[in-house]
Protein backbone atom coordinates (compact mmCIF):
# COMPACT_ATOMS: atom_id res chain seq x y z
CA UNK A 1 0.00 0.00 0.00
CA UNK A 2 2.82 2.41 0.86
CA UNK A 3 4.51 1.69 -2.46
CA UNK A 4 1.30 2.60 -4.31
CA UNK A 5 0.95 5.83 -2.34
CA UNK A 6 4.59 6.73 -3.02
CA UNK A 7 4.18 5.98 -6.72
CA UNK A 8 1.01 8.09 -6.88
CA UNK A 9 2.80 10.97 -5.13
CA UNK A 10 5.73 10.78 -7.57
CA UNK A 11 3.33 10.76 -10.50
CA UNK A 12 1.50 13.83 -9.18
CA UNK A 13 4.80 15.64 -8.63
CA UNK A 14 5.96 14.81 -12.15
CA UNK A 15 2.66 16.02 -13.61
CA UNK A 16 2.98 19.24 -11.62
CA UNK A 17 6.40 19.90 -13.13
CA UNK A 18 5.14 19.15 -16.63
CA UNK A 19 2.25 21.55 -16.14
CA UNK A 20 4.58 24.34 -15.06
CA UNK A 21 6.78 24.06 -18.13
CA UNK A 22 3.77 23.74 -20.43
CA UNK A 23 2.20 26.84 -18.89
CA UNK A 24 5.41 28.80 -19.39
CA UNK A 25 5.46 27.81 -23.06
CA UNK A 26 1.83 28.81 -23.44
CA UNK A 27 2.52 32.18 -21.83
CA UNK A 28 5.34 32.85 -24.26
CA UNK A 29 3.22 31.79 -27.22
CA UNK A 30 0.28 33.89 -26.03
CA UNK A 31 2.38 36.99 -26.53
CA UNK A 32 3.20 36.04 -30.11
CA UNK A 33 6.81 35.17 -29.38
CA UNK A 34 7.05 32.86 -32.37
CA UNK A 35 8.57 35.84 -34.14
CA UNK A 36 5.82 35.84 -36.76
CA UNK A 37 2.90 38.13 -37.44
CA UNK A 38 -0.29 36.84 -39.03
CA UNK A 39 -1.58 38.54 -42.18
CA UNK A 40 -4.94 36.95 -43.04
CA UNK A 41 -5.58 38.95 -46.23
CA UNK A 42 -3.45 36.68 -48.40
CA UNK A 43 -5.28 33.56 -47.18
CA UNK A 44 -8.79 34.83 -48.00
CA UNK A 45 -8.78 32.92 -51.29
CA UNK A 46 -9.19 29.73 -49.21
CA UNK A 47 -12.64 30.73 -47.92
CA UNK A 48 -15.25 28.34 -49.32
CA UNK A 49 -12.86 25.38 -49.55
CA UNK A 50 -12.98 22.18 -47.51
CA UNK A 51 -10.82 21.97 -44.38
CA UNK A 52 -7.79 19.73 -44.82
CA UNK A 53 -4.15 19.41 -43.82
CA UNK A 54 -3.06 20.81 -47.17
CA UNK A 55 -5.40 23.80 -46.77
CA UNK A 56 -3.94 24.42 -43.30
CA UNK A 57 -0.40 24.34 -44.66
CA UNK A 58 -1.31 26.70 -47.49
CA UNK A 59 -3.09 29.09 -45.11
CA UNK A 60 -0.07 29.16 -42.81
CA UNK A 61 2.27 29.78 -45.73
CA UNK A 62 0.13 32.55 -47.20
CA UNK A 63 -0.53 34.32 -43.90
CA UNK A 64 2.91 33.94 -42.36
CA UNK A 65 1.25 32.87 -39.09
CA UNK A 66 3.17 30.92 -36.48
CA UNK A 67 0.16 28.95 -35.20
CA UNK A 68 -3.22 27.87 -36.50
CA UNK A 69 -6.53 27.35 -34.71
CA UNK A 70 -9.47 25.57 -36.34
CA UNK A 71 -12.80 26.90 -35.07
CA UNK A 72 -15.65 24.45 -35.71
CA UNK A 73 -19.22 25.60 -36.30
CA UNK A 74 -20.69 26.63 -32.93
CA UNK A 75 -17.26 26.04 -31.36
CA UNK A 76 -16.20 27.82 -28.20
CA UNK A 77 -12.77 29.45 -28.12
CA UNK A 78 -10.82 31.66 -25.76
CA UNK A 79 -10.77 35.37 -26.50
CA UNK A 80 -7.03 35.81 -25.98
CA UNK A 81 -5.34 37.65 -28.83
CA UNK A 82 -2.20 36.25 -30.42
CA UNK A 83 -0.68 38.24 -33.24
CA UNK A 84 0.96 35.12 -34.68
CA UNK A 85 -2.21 32.96 -34.76
CA UNK A 86 -4.42 32.29 -37.78
CA UNK A 87 -8.04 31.34 -36.99
CA UNK A 88 -9.96 29.35 -39.58
CA UNK A 89 -13.70 29.17 -38.94
CA UNK A 90 -15.71 26.25 -40.35
CA UNK A 91 -19.37 25.56 -41.06
CA UNK A 92 -21.28 22.35 -40.26
CA UNK A 93 -19.78 20.60 -43.31
CA UNK A 94 -16.18 21.66 -42.52
CA UNK A 95 -16.08 24.29 -45.24
CA UNK A 96 -14.02 27.40 -44.45
CA UNK A 97 -16.32 30.35 -43.76
CA UNK A 98 -13.88 32.90 -42.35
CA UNK A 99 -10.14 33.39 -41.96
CA UNK A 100 -8.80 35.93 -39.49
CA UNK A 101 -5.83 36.57 -37.25
CA UNK A 102 -5.80 36.66 -33.48
- In this structure, the answer to whether residues 50 and 85 fall within a common structural domain is yes
Q: So what's the pLDDT on residue 35?
A: 76
- In this structure, the answer to whether residues 11 and 52 fall within a common structural domain is no
Confidence of residue 32 (pLDDT cuts 50, 70, 90): low
Enclosing domain of residue 1: 1-30
Confidence of residue 34 (pLDDT cuts 50, 70, 90): low
The predicted-structure confidence for 77-102, as pLDDT tens digits, reads as follows 999 999 999 999 999 999 999 999 99
Count of domains observed in the chain: 2
- In this structure, the answer to whether residues 9 and 49 fall within a common structural domain is no
- In this structure, the answer to whether residues 71 and 94 fall within a common structural domain is yes
- In this structure, the answer to whether residues 63 and 20 fall within a common structural domain is no
Report whether 99 contacts 88 (CB < 8 A). yes
Look at the pTM and tell me if it is higher than 0.75.
Answer: no
The predicted-structure confidence for 37-90, as pLDDT tens digits, reads as follows 999 999 999 999 999 999 999 999 999 999 999 999 999 999 999 999 999 999
Amino acid sequence: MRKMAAAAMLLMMANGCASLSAASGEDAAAHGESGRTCKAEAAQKLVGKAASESLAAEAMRLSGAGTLRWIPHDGIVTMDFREDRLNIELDQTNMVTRIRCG
